[in-house]
A = this chain, B = another copy of it.
């Protein structure tokens, strides 16, 4: 009842918190029903407010999707920054770290990664372009690491770096399709296992001890 005296920005604070709740509700709903299959009503229900009230926080349903996808890119940026900052690691080491962090993130944020990959296409032109532009940057980061590793003789130069980038993404992102936290389907070291797979494939370090060995478990 008494206004909050400890801060002179009481409203923005509360508003921002509510904003987060809104996006999180949308996340749960879109994850379950898909963006197109979910209704604004569903999101409002999840929040326990009326459909009309939801429009205090958004202008259109698409806003919910866009905010969600933007947040994914903000999170990804954190990972990239961390990896880029580790100049104590060589290219292979940084690739391994990148894969570990990405898998960790995906495992902890299955729903939004799922939405990210299933529903970007539902964005209208301008916003889709905005997201794709950030995605491009993200890809370039990994492609450059691979090129660097190839130049250093640490990575197979026989495969185009762009293709390797996508193969790595495949392994790291695909996790959202099969890992389920409640089951026992994945051990806690999933990020590590994925990094290992990415570096040495099915065949494993048996025949390539030195290069891979040195980068495992070091981050």
Residues in A lying within 8 Å of B, measured CB to CB: 33-37, 92, 95, 117-119, 121-122, 146, 149, 153-160, 162-164, 166-175, 177-179, 185-187, 190, 193-194, 196-212
Contacts and interface: CB of A to CB of B under 8 A. Distances in A.
Contact of A154 (B33, B164, B167, B203): B203
B153 A197 contact: no
B167 A190 contact: no
B197 A159 contact: yes
Number of this chain's copies in the assembly equals 4
A142 B202 CA distance: 12
Contacts of A118: 34, 118
Contact of A201 (B169, B174, B179, B199): B199
Contacts of A157: 204
Contacts of A166: 174-175, 177-179
A200 B197 contact: no
Contacts of A186: 163
Given A197-B201, A207-B208, A171 B163 contact: no
